[in-house]
Structure 1
Amino acid sequence: MISRITGALMRAALVAATVVTPSLLLSGSGTGAPEFVIFVTLIAAIFIFSEYTTVFPSILEFRDAPPLNRLRFLALSSTVVCLTLLAKNATDPTQTTLWMSQIGTSIGHSLDFPYSPVRLLVLMMPPDAPMALTDGVRMSAGVAYLISLVAIITFILTIRVKGWPTRNGAFNVWTNMPLFDPTTGGDVVDRLYSDARFNVILGVLLPFIIPAVAKLASELIDPISLSDPVVLIWTVCAWAFLPASMIMRGIALARIAALIEEKRRRAYAVAEAEGIQTA
């Protein structure tokens, strides 16, 4: 019980630190609304603490199947820190922010090729946007998208090399997939494969769809002002992290479906062999 509470407190503190990092480091950039930031930070910390202290799960998936959620959090926190350093370089440059800016510029231009998600996000900017803002969007998008790709590849390698999630013991569907009801609908394996395909396809398409929808919506309503560095950070994080998280969820669901399918085949083989022996 003590170890569970300690682990939950540590997770809640890390999540709170990630949420508040841009506002803390960019306090002099006109970010505003500190009360709202504190409110969101408290809500996120309380949610994570309650999820990891209770025995009965509610929303959070794969909480007892590391390292999926750890990879997700590491990808999000890394993206937030890197984008914050990029934004800080424009107002209060240091050796670290200059180094991060050089890396971000290289990554942004490398991934800014025709029809790439980064190019589409840059084209979302209005024609009269300042060049510095456009370059900042390009750098942020490139870094965020690269971190998301690394997280996805790392999770795939974790499955291939370490056999996730079987090396961590038996996989408990109830605690790791609280929103999935195996008693409703059709066959469990078919449902898992269907959900996996949906998540992967939507995760792949979202980085292309979001800039296009934002561009179309800008003709009807005022677009989100990305000149505020905190708004830019969280907008780009959402654009890159949410699709990556969906892809990783789809891969995880497909892996669980494959394990169930393999267990069924073994059970059928054992039953068939016993039937032959008894006959």
Structure 2
Amino acid sequence: MLARFTGAALRGLLVALVVAFPSLLLPVSAPEIATLLALVAALLTFAEYNSSYPSIVEFRSAPPLNRLRYVALLVTVLALTLIAKQRIEPTHLTALVSGLGGLLGHWTDFPYSPVRLAVLMLPPDASAATVETLRTAAGLSYVIALLTVAAFLLAVRGFGWPVAHGAFNVWTNLPLFDPTAGGDVVHRLQRDGQINTVLGILLPFAIPALIKLSSALIQPLPFTEPQTMIWLISAWAFLPASMIMRGIALMRIAGLIAQKRRRAYADADAAQAA
């Protein structure tokens, strides 16, 4: 009981820090809004992990999936905050992160790449400094997302996730999945995994196109505002990576269930033969 309460409180604090980082390091016009959002995120996380029964958070008992997601979001938000801070209060740390991001941005900014499409979200009259900042942020965040997906693939292929940490409980780790909804469980998991993977691959290309099209109908997003740039680019990189990881996880679980079925059928056939 105490261990669960402490763990839930720590997770809530860590989530609140991610939400509050841009407001803590950058000047903001309404810090009370950032404080409220951080508090709400902390309370929701605490309520989820302090409960004995799952509600909406998937893979609660299947590390390191959620830990990789958190670290990826933390690193992305912190790096983009430092990049934005470079234009306001430059330091050695902000210069280092901006230099690394600029290098990665130019490497990944080639025709039809997601980074090139992200840069094209800017209006034609955007300043050169704004274009360079967005390219730097997009390149760094996209590389972080790719490394996170690669790390999870290594956990699955190299370390046997999720069975390396014990039995996998579908009810605890997939609270929104109803195995009695109809249809074969394996086929449904494989279908959902494939859909998540395909959407995760397409979203970095689709999001900039949708934003560019919507700018013709509504007021364009203020990319010169640091908070807008940080959260939009973070979502653009993190959400597709998270969907790909979820797709990989679902297909892995489907494979484990199918493997267990084959073993059960083989044992039954052996028992009948004996």
1:51-105 deviation digits (Å, cap 9, x = unpaired): 1111111100001100000000000000001001111111100111111111111
Distance in 1 of aligned mates of 2:228 and 2:208: 15
| Residue 89 (1) aligns with residue 66 (2) | no
The SS at the match of 1:78 is helix
Q: What is the match of residue 14 of structure 1?
A: 14
Structure 2 CA distance for aligned equivalents of residues 5 and 108 of structure 1:
42
Deviation at 1:33, TM superposition (A): 2.3
Supply the distance in 1 between the matched residues of 2:76 and 2:32 (Cα, whole angstroms): 23
Amino acid at match of 1:32: S
The structural deviation recorded for 1:41 is 0.6
Name the counterpart of 2:35: 38
Q: For residues 160 and 19 of structure 1, what CA distance do their matches in structure 2 show?
A: 32
SS across alignment from 1:126: coil
C-alpha distance in 2 between matches for 1:188 and 1:39: 40
Which residue matches 1:115?
Answer: 112
Structure 1 residue aligned with 2:73: 76
Work out whether 1:146 is the aligned partner of 2:143: yes
Q: Residues 18-63 of structure 1, C-alpha deviation per residue, up to 9 Å, x if partnerless?
A: 1100011002xxx322222111111110111111111111100001
RMSD of Structure 2 on Structure 1 (CA): 0.7
Map 1:234-253; keep pairs closer than 5 Å. 234-253=231-250
Runs of 4+ in 1 over 2 A off after TM superposition: none
Instruction: State the shift of 1:185 in Å.
Output: 1.8
Equivalent position of 1:265 in the other structure: 262
Identity, in percent, stands at 56
Count, aligned residues: 274
Structure 2 unaligned spans of 5+: none
TM-score under structure 1 length normalisation: 0.97
Distance 2:52 2:128 in 1: 52
- Shift in Å, 1:230: 1.0
Amino acid at match of 2:248: I
Kindly provide the amino acid, as one letter, of the partner of residue 207 in structure 1. Answer: P
TM-score by length of 2: 0.99
Counterpart amino acid of residue 195 in structure 1: D
Distance of 1:50 and 1:191 partners within structure 2: 29
The Cα of 1:139 is off from its aligned counterpart by: 0.4
Gaps of 5+ in 1: none
Q: Work out the CA distance in 2 between the residues paired with 1:32 and 1:68.
A: 35
Are residue 229 (structure 1) and residue 229 (structure 2) matched?
no
Aligned residue for 1:119, secondary structure, equals helix
